[in-house]
Structure 1
């Protein structure tokens, strides 16, 4: 029996949440928590979109 690859989508929301929190924490140490949050948000969105595009290609 051949193993077929899974077609279930991956969940990437955790990367978005972690990037926002990490950005805010790093921004707090740098003296700019809002800027850090926004940079984390942008990074999280980029990673989430990349994983979404990879999932679209698999199906």
Structure 2
């Protein structure tokens, strides 16, 4: 694969990581850290995919 000279302007990885941390913290406060982790992962993935689709076109 040839290296791309175009730099991405979106930060999907940060959104996924941040939503994982926030989801886990909220889950800890509610007594369900695993559920918070999974929810944070799901929401972060949805937002990251939406950003990626928006950037594509």
TM-score (norm 1): 0.80
Give the structure 1 partner of residue 36 of structure 2: 36
Q: 1-side partners of 2:23 and 2:49: how far apart?
A: 18
* Number of corresponding residues: 51
Q: What does residue 20 of structure 2 align with?
A: 20
Question: In the alignment, which residue of structure 2 is the partner of 1:52?
Answer: 52
Runs of 5+ unmatched residues, structure 2: 1-5
Report the Cα distance in structure 2 between the residues aligned to 1:27 and 1:51, rounded to whole angstroms: 25
Per-residue deviation, 1:11 = 2.1
SS at match of 2:36: helix
Alignment gaps of 5+ in structure 1: 1-6
Larger radius of gyration: 1
